[in-house]
Structure 1
């Protein structure tokens, strides 16, 4: 599916302290992504704080995003949940609303086995009928998808793609090669982790699932297009310019930094959902200084 290639921009989901999604603010964040021409919008990913929102609020966010994208940009939506039946219901909601695909993580409290993850993903894909992208996010879920498990899941009808954190540049080619050898040719391999994405794209990653693109789509599109053109020199130069932002992401998490950046730019005034706290003022100023210095607005 073409929605699993190119640049997928992941916006935050502005919400009140009690978890009520600010649909007007969300639409204001999505509109520039549509105008920029991103290849897809990744709604309710980890940056979109899906795990902190009720089923009803997730549906309100999805309806607002789909209305704003208006058929011009496909919307991939997070459907992860602790329980398999809840994930199925969320995927069914997404399909009924008009999302093109679901992003499914191995969310758990009790650590999961490969067999449990396989059963979970197969059930969601089969019972919802929604195309599924495997969301490998071990930093959050504490579960890592080995190439063998990805290959096994790639045989399930409806499981079409992988979003996987890119390792360091010296390991990314081997990482992608191991995955490619495990999956069918039509299965799409994509990268997250903005600071390593440029090298992953040059090594053959077919998609970049980007937090930064949720606020700065033009900058990220320039990196992607240079990589797609095979211009490694330009790709690396554009990426190097972004290093101050990548350093902030790694030091304070991309979630906290992107909330501070959105606030600095006046795009929304929401805070992350508690217990996550916004960055304190001195660190917010550091974020603002980087955004201004790089002219990312």
Structure 2
């Protein structure tokens, strides 16, 4: 399972009655794959994993697998308490996914050996490859990361902490382990484009793009600019689109998800609001987001 290009983290659409809307999810995913996504990570952070039932995760995964039809890899999230995460992993496998994004255990702060044990026990519930998400209560040392990379089912590490020095040490430690040439590293910070140049400098070229969910034109243009070292376009997009987007995102907790969902609706697919404890953007913030999207597209001449 090898990734390249922009990684797509779709939102999870909800119908007016609050239920999972499979038809809208299928349209959302098809649109992203057709636009050029390099992989689909369904029912993950942007997809409100925290607010979905295990049954909804399974259904969403099945929709993604059906829609993509093998064109790109499909991963779905498992996490939280070990019994719940194991059930989610089994459901994801049953739905036909290509892999699992393993989120941190819930609430508790664990020792390094405990994080390894968590990965071992959850991945044992399915035969799927797994990408470990380092964030929150799951902060690895470079020694633990090297041991994690040696686990047979763990094929990648996604960083959501943002400690560049630590991540550089982790990359170097993992690469020193024989047989890890294919192990993949991901930048998983919110609005990852803001830090993509820095991560690229330490050997982490893959990143999750929340912007791709509502403005694939902008996300793809930025990705191409990085690949071709088009510094003027990188600078313009960071200054005039991504920077202001991050400033808006940081005004309200949870906007890293809620703004993305609002953006999808602004672009023509009404995917509904977010579930509690998140809140939908205010009308003022939605209007600012709409203007930002318009300006980003104008910068590209789109």
For the residue of structure 1 that corresponds to 2:6, the secondary structure is: strand
Taking the aligned partners of 1:126 and 1:57, their CA distance within structure 2 comes to: 22
Taking the aligned partners of 1:255 and 1:67, their CA distance within structure 2 comes to: 25
Q: TM-score, normalised by structure 1?
A: 0.88
For the residue of structure 1 that corresponds to 2:274, the secondary structure is: coil
2:171 to 173, 180, 183: 180
For residues 264-290 of structure 1, give each alpha carbon's deviation from its aligned partner in whole angstroms, at most 9, with x where no partner exists.
223124111112111222222221221
Q: Which runs of 5+ in 2 are unaligned?
A: 175-179
Higher relative contact order, structure no. (Cα contacts within 8 Å, ≥ 6 residues apart): 1
* 216-225 vs 70-79, greater mean Cα deviation: 216-225
Taking the aligned partners of 2:18 and 2:86, their CA distance within structure 1 comes to: 22
Partner residue of 2:248? 248
CA drift of 1:35 comes to 0.8
Partner residue of 1:93? 91
For the residue of structure 2 that corresponds to 1:128, the secondary structure is: coil
For residues 229-266 of structure 1, give each alpha carbon's deviation from its aligned partner in whole angstroms, at most 9, with x where no partner exists.
34455444443342222322333331121122122223
Partner residue of 1:145? 140
Matched residue count: 288
Q: Relative to structure 1, is the Cα distance of residues 20 and 178 closer, same or farther in structure 2, using a 3 angstrom cutoff?
A: same
Taking the aligned partners of 2:293 and 2:160, their CA distance within structure 1 comes to: 24
Q: Relative to structure 1, is the Cα distance of residues 17 and 133 closer, same or farther in structure 2, using a 3 angstrom cutoff?
A: farther
Q: TM-score, normalised by structure 2?
A: 0.86
Partner residue of 1:73? 72
Taking the aligned partners of 2:170 and 2:234, their CA distance within structure 1 comes to: 23
5 Å-filtered alignment, 1:92-241, equals: 92-138=90-136, 142-165=137-160, 167=162, 172=164, 174-183=165-174, 184-193=180-189, 194=192, 195-241=194-240
Q: Which runs of 5+ in 1 are unaligned?
A: none
Partner residue of 1:289? 291
Indicate conservation of the 8 Å contact 1:19/1:57, yes or no.
Answer: no
Taking the aligned partners of 1:156 and 1:12, their CA distance within structure 2 comes to: 30
